Amino acid sequence: MYTFSDLSGTSLTLRPEGTAGVVRAYIEHSLHMKAPVWRLFYRGPMFRYERPQKGRYRQFYQIGVEVLGDEGPLVDAELLEMLSSVFSRVGLEGVVFEVNSLGCPVCRGSFRDKLKAFLLDVRDRLCGDCRRRTEKNPLRALDCKNPLCRELTAGAPHIYEHLCEDCRAHFDGFVKGLEGFGVTYRINPRMVRGLDYYTRTAFEAVVDSPRLGTQNTVAAGGRYDGLVKELGGADTPCFGFAIGIERVALLVDAALLREEPLFYLIPLGTEPQKSVQGLACSMRRAGIKTLMELRSGVSLKSAMKRADRLGVTYVLIVGEDELKEGVVTLRNMKDGTQKRLSVDNLVEELKEYLP
C-alpha cells in the first residue's frame, strides 16, 4: 500500500487497484436491485509502494473490467476472449493465458492444511518470506521466484487435485468455454494470485519478452465470489481482470499505434487569413487535428520551417490564387508531394487521410 501522512498529519492510502472500489460502489448504490448482472469497466492510475523496476512502477495505469452477478463459468471464458481480442487489436502477440482454480473457502481450507504440512517438512531450507508464508498464507509459497524454494516445492500438492465437486465442475466448464471461444490457455497449477479475494478461476496473461523481463504479466484477474458479501453486500458472484497499460505499451511497437495526422494551415495574405480561420473551425469540429499559422505577414518559407519543427504531417497552403480558384494546396511533409483540393469539399476529402 502507498500510505503517507498529508500536511495535517492525516494518514492517506492511495488505491492499489480498482476492484474493491467497484464493489463498494455496487453495494453503495444497490446496483443488484437495478439489474441482475452488471458489466463495468474503469481506467486510471493505481499506486503501490513497490521497488520500481522495468514494468513495475509506484504509479501505473490499469484498464479494468468487472462482471458482477454472474457465476459463470462461461462468463470467465468470455472475458478472456475479450481480452485476447483487445491484445490482437493493439498488435500484441505471444500472449499466453495461464489459468488455474483457487477453489472455494471450503476446498481451499483443506488444501491449505495439506500444503502447510508439506511446507513444514522443508521449512528450514525455505527463504525467509516462504517461512512466514508457511504460517500465514501457504499458497503464496507456490508463487516464490527463489530457485531453491521452487525446487523444494516442486513436489507440493496441486490445488487442482483437491477441488470440491462444484469447483471442479466450474473449472472444467471454464476450460471448455475457452476452447469454445478458441482461446489458447495453459493450466498452471502453481499459479496463485497476490490479492486475497480470489476464489475459483484465476488467470494471468503472460508474455515472454526481453522488453519486460521478470514483470511479464500484462493482465490478470479472476473470480471473487466472496468479496461483495465481505464488504457488506448481498452474496454476489463476480469475475474481472485488469490490464497493465505500461507493460502493454512496452511491448507494442510504436509503428503499430496509429498516429493521427496533424494538419497545418498556412494563409498567405489578408483575405486567405480570414478564410483559413473558418477552415480551421470546420476541420476541428470534424475531429481533424489542426493548427494554423497565426503570425500575420510571415513568408511561406518561415511558415514551412515552423510546420517542420512542429512535426506536422500535412500542410495546407491558401494563397490569393488558391482563394480565387476555390482550392487549397495540400503538401505531404514526409515526401514533399502536393495536390490541390477543393475548398467546398475539403473536410470530407481530409477525412480520407485519417487512420
Minimum distance, C-beta of residue 56 to ligand HAM, in the bound complex (Å):
4
Which x/- pattern, by CB under 6 A, does the window 195-214 give for ligand HAM?
x-------------------
- The correct pick among 23, 26, 38, 64 for binding ligand HAM (CB under 6 A) is 64
- The correct pick among 190, 200, 247, 331 for binding ligand HAM (CB under 6 A) is 247
Minimum distance, C-beta of residue 247 to ligand HAM, in the bound complex (Å):
5
**Whether residue 52 has a cis bond before it, omega within 30° of 0:** no
Nearer to ligand HAM, 178 or 292 (CB): 178
Name the residue among 269, 193, 221 with its Cα closest to residue 75. 221
Nearer to ligand HAM, 225 or 293 (CB): 225
Residue-wise over 293-321: b if at least 16 C-beta within 10 A, else e?
Answer: beeeebeeeebbeebeeeebbbbbbbbee
What share of residues in the chain are helix, strand, coil (percent, to 5)? Answer: 40, 25, 35
Give burial (CB, 10 Å; 0-12/13-18/19+) of 347.
middle
- The correct pick among 19, 84, 216, 275 for binding ligand HAM (CB under 6 A) is 19
- The correct pick among 137, 209, 217, 313 for binding ligand HAM (CB under 6 A) is 217
84 in contact with ligand HAM (CB under 6 A)? no
* Gap between the Cα atoms of 86 and 64, Å rounded: 12
Which x/- pattern, by CB under 6 A, does the window 44-63 give for ligand HAM?
----x-x----xxx--x-x-
103 in contact with ligand HAM (CB under 6 A)? no
CA 139 to chain centre: 26
Residues contacting ligand HAM: total by CB under 6 A: 27
The cell numbers describing 354, all together, are 485519417
| Residues from 158 through 197 that contact ligand HAM (CB under 6 A) | 194-195
236 in contact with ligand HAM (CB under 6 A)? no
Name the residue among 109, 217, 83, 229 with its Cα closest to residue 167. 109
The cell numbers describing 321, all together, are 490564387
Amino acid at 44: G
Nearer to ligand HAM, 20 or 291 (CB): 20
Grid cell 494554423 is found at: 292
- The answer to whether 60 touches 45, Cβ cutoff 8 Å, is yes
Nearer to ligand HAM, 20 or 262 (CB): 20
289 in contact with ligand HAM (CB under 6 A)? no
Of 16-24, 152-160, 307-315, 341-349, the window that binds ligand HAM (rule: CB under 6 A) is 16-24
Q: Would you tell me which residues interact with ligand HAM (CB under 6 A)?
A: 17-19, 48, 50, 55-57, 60, 62, 64, 66, 194-195, 217-222, 224, 240-242, 244, 246-247
